[in-house]
Structure 1
Amino acid sequence: MSSAVFLHGAFDARVADLNLREGRPGEVLLTVAAVGLCGSDLHYYKDGGIGSAVIADPFVPGHEFAGYLEQDVPQKGARAGDLVAVDPNHACGHCAWCREGHANLCPNVEFIGAPPHNGAMTGRIWVPAEQIVPLPPGMSPVEAVMLEPLGVAIHAVDLAKPRLLERVALLGCGPIGLLILQVLKAAGAGEVIAVDPQPHRRALAERLGADVTASDVSGIDAATKGEGAPLVLEATNAPEGFRDAVRAARIGGRVVLVGIPDGDSYALPASEARRRALKIKFARRMGEVYPRAIALVAGGKVDVTSIVSHRFGLDEAPDAFRLHAENAPGMIKSLVYPNGNKGGEKP
């Protein structure tokens, strides 16, 4: 018996006992080092679901996590005691999308930490061995946890295809936006104009490489003399995010939508997008990007640690959800430590 965070519905997070289920064939057991509180976790907390993924019964969130193996995983070259990351996306492998190499679009996916599948905000968890991601020596638990959101950022930039030295507008400087910013720079993008209403997030964006920051989309007009940016990436949780991305884009530009809007609905005047003849893509999760995520962190090209602003023990996790939902000052990225050690070291 161990404790876990359960989401019962909108604005209802509780800590309670959880009986660890039996392992299934092909699974391995992890002691959880740390778990990231993701924007999608927050949508489950604020809205009680995301689209058709609705909380019907209490479930344990947490899909950004790392842990220590309790047994050897020979097929991955990993040994008991190793710190590993986990790809939470368990695609079916046989549908048309999986066969085409788009496992992130699999309609039959079993995603760790999305209802009804319990996630890692608990002390120990069984995961399929094939989803284990071995790590290079010296990688910290924080870095290991942040590989999953970094993977989302890499996938978004892959979709965006920034041209060398191309100007980019980035809407939203939360964790995903700040990771996208750094991946854009690593990919050779030019001037990045980062927009966020919160001063502390704009300040961190400047430190991580943004050339211009603004509190709203009007700052993009000022920076581009009214022309707009040829490439816009949107990583907000605002229903107005799609609208603002359209308004930030130049005629004939490209827009990639990464964020999930509160209330699962966008507000958009259609004529503004149509008259610009914009090319619009939606990002969903990630492809096979963990090797590149590891290389970016290990090579010092992306700083994931500075994005983590708060650390919580398991009993404090309901407060973490509440503070993020309230947009409390200073919040960017929170990690939860289910086993009490806020450094995430091996118990």
Structure 2
Amino acid sequence: MSTGTMKAVVRRGPRLLVADVPDAVPGAGQVVARTLACGICGSDLHAVHHLEHSIEMGRRSGAADTLDPAQDLVMGHEFCAEVLDHGPGTDKRLKAGTRVVSTPFAFSELGPELIGFSTRYRGAFAERLVLTEALLLPVPNGLASEAAALTEPLAVGTHAVAVGAPGERSVAMVIGCGPIGLAVIVALKRRGIGPIIAADFSPARRARAEQLGADIVVDPAETSPHAAWSGFDVPATLAEMGLAQMAGRSLRDAVIFECVGVPGMLQSLLENAPPGAHVVVVGACAEDDRILPVLAINKQLRFSFVFAYTPDEFAETLQALGEGEIDPSIFLSGQVGLNETAAAFERLGNPGNDVKIVVEPWR
């Protein structure tokens, strides 16, 4: 086992730099793995400049305190890696050289710690990392490493749609077509749900939503996505619902996925969602927001707030990628080495045509 150092991208204060950090050494039940690919997540972008705020939100939510913002932080939780060696107490079921993915958790006396948001369990923007053997899933069917690294963000979409629980009569709307919104579209299509209405200000992201199978793609600067409801037998207002019920019309239900996470989005949906809609909040708004609850009461709206995924949903998403049910090329928009990671973070601050940039530390 190495006791030397390795290269990693560290967050030191509000900036990123490449530095030497202590090498990855596995403990009981753990393996050390070489990072092959790791996607940059929106939560990584937020943490560079707002890590202390993120820690405070975790504390207020009741999460364990596993992160010291004064220490260097190695982020990266959307990874594919190659097993190098096994720590004590492992069964070595996956031999050295096996490519794997894993839910990004490690376990300590404090409970689960999120790899990449812990100062004890470094993330995958590093040459090597420590992983829990019991959580490892082998990459299936020769799936490319950069595609396998999409399992984590795509699993977020799998979970959001599972919570939304749309049925065969549901009309789905996806607000925001960044990586998570696109992941929701993928999960909806895999369940055979349609029609799907997708909205985003970015032409590039609208184009990707269309490639993934969205039926109506809207630029909200020009057209309200909510204008489409009535055409799909979803009453857009209480008055319209009353008339439809009096006429005995067969109606459909609406499931809306909010994938933006900025102040004002929830109130906008309270104003514009059709009566009886189920709103699944996937976008992580980390600021105070204001809503008028009586609108939701009048319309009998239902809100669900979702986080991450279950282990089964993660495994299901990996299998779908391995079986070719998901086209990873629609998500992948760049691959960089450690020295280019800080610039990639800047680039994703104004994403333009980018969706998912993958860091490959071996480059």
Q: Look up the SS of the partner of 1:154 in the other structure.
A: helix
Distance 1:47-1:84 versus aligned 2 partners, 3 A rule: same
Kindly name which structure, 1 or 2, has the bigger radius of gyration based on alpha carbons: 2
Kept after mapping to 2: 8 A contact 1:34/1:145: yes
| d(CA) in 2 for partners of 1:180, 1:164 | 16
Cα distance between partner residues in 2 of 1:182 and 1:215? 20
| CA–CA separation in structure 2 for the residues paired with 1:41 and 1:198 | 21
Q: 1:17 aligns with which of 14, 17, 20?
A: 20
Q: Which residue of 1 aligns with 2:71?
A: 57
CA spacing shift, 1:197–1:80, aligned 2, 3 Å: same
Corresponding residue for 2:236?
Answer: 227
Answer whether contact 2:264 2:290 (CA < 8 A) is retained: yes
Find the partner of 1:86 among 83, 86, 102: 102
Once the two structures are TM-superposed, the CA of residue 205 in structure 1 deviates from its matched residue by: 0.4
Q: Give the conservation status (yes or no) of the 8 Å contact 2:226–2:273.
A: no
- 1:329 corresponds to which residue? 352
| Structure 1 residues 312 and 328: CA distance shift in structure 2, 3 A | same
Q: CA deviation at 1:198?
A: 0.9
Q: Classify the secondary structure of the residue corresponding to 2:340.
A: helix
- State the 1:75 CA deviation: 4.5
> Residues 95-244 of structure 1 correspond to what in structure 2 (within 5 A)?
108-116=111-119, 117-216=121-220, 218-225=223-230, 227=236, 230-244=254-268
TM-score, normalised with respect to structure 1:
0.86
CA contact (8 A) 1:179 1:304 kept: no
Equivalent residue of 1:185, what SS?
helix
CA shift for structure 1 position 9: 3.8
Secondary structure of the 2:170 match is coil
| Pairwise CA RMSD | 2.4
- Percent identity between the aligned chains? 29
- Whether 2:46 is the aligned partner of 1:34: answer no
Moved more, 140-149 or 111-120: 111-120
Indicate the SS of the match to 2:316: helix
State whether residues 139 and 322 of structure 2, in contact with CA within 8 Å, keep that contact through their aligned partners in structure 1: no
Deviation at 1:165, TM superposition (A): 4.4
1:69 aligns with 2:83: yes
Runs of 4+ in 1 over 4 A off after TM superposition: 72-76
User: Could you tell which deviates more after superposition, 222-231 or 144-153?
Assistant: 222-231
1:33 and 1:337 in contact (8 A); partners too: yes
Report the Cα offset of residue 244 of structure 1: 3.4
How many Å separate the matches in 2 of 1:271 and 1:280?
A: 14
Conserved in 1, the CA contact under 8 Å of 2:74 and 2:122?
yes
Q: Which amino acid aligns with 1:227?
A: A
Residue ranges of structure 1 left out of the alignment (5+ in a row): 94-106, 341-347
Deviates more, 1:285-294 or 1:139-148: 285-294
Given that residues 5 and 121 in structure 1 are in contact (C-alpha distance below 8 angstroms), is that contact kept between their aligned partners in structure 2?
Answer: yes
* Inter-partner Cα distance in structure 2 for 1:300 and 1:260: 29
**Aligned counterpart, 2:293:** 270
Contact 2:141–2:322 under 8 Å retained in 1: no
Which of 326, 332, 348 is matched with 1:302 structurally? 326
Letter in 2 for 1:300: G
Q: In the aligned structure 2, how far is the partner of 1:161 from the partner of 1:301?
A: 20
Kept in 2: contact 1:64–1:88 (CA 8 A): yes
Q: Is the 8 A contact 1:171 1:245 kept in 2?
A: no
For the 8 Å contact 1:76–1:132, the answer to whether it is kept is no
Query: Structure 1 residues 190 and 56, CA, compared in 2 at 3 Å: closer, same or farther?
Result: same
SS of the equivalent of 2:187 reads helix
Q: Where do 5+ consecutive residues of structure 2 fail to align? A: 60-66, 238-252
Change (3 A) 1:111 1:188: same
Shift of residue 267 of structure 1?
A: 4.0
- The number of aligned residues is 324
Cα pair distance change 1:328/1:294, threshold 3 Å: closer
> 3-state DSSP class of the match of 2:160?
helix
Contact 1:66 1:84 in 2 (8 A): yes
Aligned to 2:305: 282
1:45-69 per-position Cα deviation (integer Å, ceiling 9, x unaligned) = 2422422367342200001101111
Tell me, what secondary structure is at the counterpart of 2:220?
A: coil
State the 1:236 CA deviation. Answer: 1.4
